[in-house]
Chain A
């Protein structure tokens, strides 16, 4: 199981970085999404995988005796998912706005040197 997850994490990182290096704005955002998912899986993987051992103390005990599944990574992932949801929705609005304002999807075209007519 660890091996499969490790390979998936690697693939997600690699494809995320690759897509970020492309010139298209849409691919950039897809790359960011993949990278975010890769990180979440990495937290899950490095937190240690334990099957079928919930961290619940029996009523007779005061401490957990045997090996148990660590609940912390899941809490971290949940937080990270919520945050990356916010970031990604912002990113999607941003690329739409970029396309409307600049009329291009090409990252190489995004470098106009002129100032706007704006009151700074």
Chain B
């Protein structure tokens, strides 16, 4: 079924970015266009989501080249959910950045790059072609390079060198894997590859290719031995930029992992064990890293790494329930990590500090705001009615039934560490009294802002917190959604039929 609605999330962002390029120095117009466009993109994402959720998978063959030859776009429930989540976080971040990003930075293409980034993300979620996935990844990382260096401060440049090198290396490994896969199977269409990969004689080389994909996506999604670039770079750019990185950039790697390892390479026992061990160590090392940090944003960066472990662990167990838990966690994680970095940005605007030892007094001065910030912080720990709790039920239960006690231990360790770290943050930042505060002349403090800017600063946090409350309190609906996605990931017949159709094209070799 060809419906062109599927390409609209990509085209809309592309169009927005192009329009914004014409208003290069006129930042006030850029803000309005960007915010309005982001709101519209939520609408488009909801339309696409409901069209796919209620009916069936939508596909589009670029240039009407029949599968498996042309580039295919596929929107199944998983892709559309990711597009929806991406546009929700992006809308929150555009509103937040309209206040916090300095005018000088906006004049160097902040908003156009933002929409190019989102175009890349939406493209990566919707494509059904493995080489096209690589191209979208490059669109994403090139825009993110603009973001991470925008401003050109010392720490930013240092972060950017590490970020650039590791991401380039990851892309090259990914491309190597594509080359080997093309040499083996002679196809790039993921649905087509899914059928062809079992018929390859040299299964040893298939395993090697799978590991290459694991390493390539592992660097992007900050898995255990490959995550070191993340805590070294994510705390360097502006709060709004960190928020979009934290919420979406590592998750696109996770998305690719889940897609490739459910559709093309079905994990065998070796692969499952490998992924489970990596997931456990990711939880362990990310948690330990978060424990020792005093820089608030660096600590949150380590928590990103730590919580990636839950999702990869779900993939490693590879049952419907485990994947369902992983997807639920992914949905929760995208919203919460965006929100947490926005919260960190507001805390910085209030205190003017990043070091938690020198912060304090937010609860005494801003009780209502503290209550609002408690929602994402407590959801992250997984206090029962809130959103972090529900996916853990599935993940813990499945690690019992599949007898992965090592992973179970790491899950528990990750949760306890998160609890400890967040309670440390709460007592240091919110309860403690601030000792001899110093006003820095280069910061625009929260209390110096006019009322309308304060509203624009807090509104995105309220919006994302409401969504988190919905994920927590309306967990039944999210469970249904994640279960549907997990079932589709395990049984790919519908996906393959939607892409390849029932009529096969025969070519004489």
**Contact residues of A with B, CB < 8 Å?**
20, 25, 28, 32, 35-36, 39, 42-43, 45-48, 63-65, 70, 72-73, 76, 79-80, 83, 86-87, 90-91, 94-95, 97-98, 101-102, 107, 110-112, 114-120
A43-B179 in contact given A112-B154, A116-B154, A118-B151 (Cβ < 8 Å):
yes
On chain B, the residues within 8 Å of A79 by CB distance are 131, 135
Give Cα A47 to B184, complex, Å: 9
Interface membership of B158, Cβ < 8 A: yes
* B154 CB to nearest A CB, Å: 5
Contact for A90 among B145, B153, B155, B507, CB less than 8 A = B145
- Interface residues in B172-208 (C-beta closer than 8 Å to A): 172, 175-176, 178-180, 182-183, 186, 188
Give Cα A67 to B172, complex, Å: 30
Interface membership of B157, Cβ < 8 A: yes
- Interface residues in B404-427 (C-beta closer than 8 Å to A): none
A87 near B238: Cβ-Cβ < 8 Å: no
Give Cα A87 to B297, complex, Å: 28
B161 near A112: Cβ-Cβ < 8 Å: no
On chain B, the residues within 8 Å of A48 by CB distance are 183
On chain B, the residues within 8 Å of A83 by CB distance are 135, 138
B179 near A118: Cβ-Cβ < 8 Å: no
* A69 CB to nearest B CB, Å: 13
B168 near A32: Cβ-Cβ < 8 Å: yes
Give Cα A36 to B443, complex, Å: 42
A118 near B158: Cβ-Cβ < 8 Å: no
A101 near B444: Cβ-Cβ < 8 Å: no
Count A-B pairs with CB separation below 8 Å.
113
On chain A, the residues within 8 Å of B100 by CB distance are 120
Give Cα A110 to B229, complex, Å: 13
Contact for A120 among B178, B183, B354, CB less than 8 A = B354
B444 near A119: Cβ-Cβ < 8 Å: yes
Give Cα A67 to B395, complex, Å: 51
A63 near B444: Cβ-Cβ < 8 Å: no
- 7 new A-B pairs (CB below 8 Å) besides A20-B169, A94-B164, A102-B154? A48-B183, A63-B507, A80-B175, A97-B152, A101-B153, A114-B155, A118-B442
The 17 sampled A-B contact pairs (Cβ below 8 Å) are: A35-B172, A39-B179, A43-B179, A45-B183, A48-B183, A70-B186, A72-B182, A76-B182, A87-B142, A87-B168, A98-B158, A102-B154, A110-B158, A115-B295, A115-B354, A116-B155, A118-B442
* B17 CB to nearest A CB, Å: 16
Interface membership of B435, Cβ < 8 A: no
A32 near B152: Cβ-Cβ < 8 Å: no
Q: Closest B residue to A115 by CB, please name it.
A: B354
A94 near B160: Cβ-Cβ < 8 Å: yes
Q: Closest A residue to B132 by CB, please name it.
A: A79
* B431 CB to nearest A CB, Å: 23
B182 near A73: Cβ-Cβ < 8 Å: yes
Q: Chain B: interface residue count, which band?
A: 35 or more
On chain A, the residues within 8 Å of B164 by CB distance are 90-91, 94
A101 near B182: Cβ-Cβ < 8 Å: no
Q: Is chain B's interface secondary structure helix, strand, loop, or mixed overall?
A: helix
B161 near A43: Cβ-Cβ < 8 Å: no
**Contact residues of B with A, CB < 8 Å?**
100, 102, 131, 135, 138, 142, 145, 149, 151-158, 160-162, 164-165, 168-169, 171-172, 175-176, 178-180, 182-183, 186, 188, 238-239, 295, 297, 345, 348, 354-355, 440, 442-444, 507-508
Q: Closest B residue to A46 by CB, please name it.
A: B183
B149 near A97: Cβ-Cβ < 8 Å: yes
* A39 CB to nearest B CB, Å: 5
On chain A, the residues within 8 Å of B156 by CB distance are 116
Q: Closest B residue to A70 by CB, please name it.
A: B186
Contact for B153 among A25, A39, A118, CB less than 8 A = A118
A120 near B158: Cβ-Cβ < 8 Å: no
Contact for B175 among A32, A39, A64, A98, CB less than 8 A = A39
Give Cα A65 to B156, complex, Å: 57
B161 near A120: Cβ-Cβ < 8 Å: no
A32 near B442: Cβ-Cβ < 8 Å: no
Contact for B102 among A94, A115, A117, A119, CB less than 8 A = A119
On chain B, the residues within 8 Å of A111 by CB distance are 158
A39-B172 in contact given A46-B182, A87-B142 (Cβ < 8 Å):
yes
Give Cα A114 to B294, complex, Å: 12
Give Cα A25 to B164, complex, Å: 12
On chain A, the residues within 8 Å of B348 by CB distance are 120
Q: Closest B residue to A87 by CB, please name it.
A: B168
* A120 CB to nearest B CB, Å: 5
Give Cα A101 to B152, complex, Å: 8
* B428 CB to nearest A CB, Å: 17
Contact for A98 among B151, B157, B169, B180, CB less than 8 A = B157
A90-B442 in contact given A39-B172, A102-B158 (Cβ < 8 Å):
no
Give Cα A112 to B169, complex, Å: 24
Give Cα A112 to B235, complex, Å: 13
B188 near A72: Cβ-Cβ < 8 Å: yes
A112-B155 in contact given A32-B165, A36-B172, A87-B168 (Cβ < 8 Å):
yes
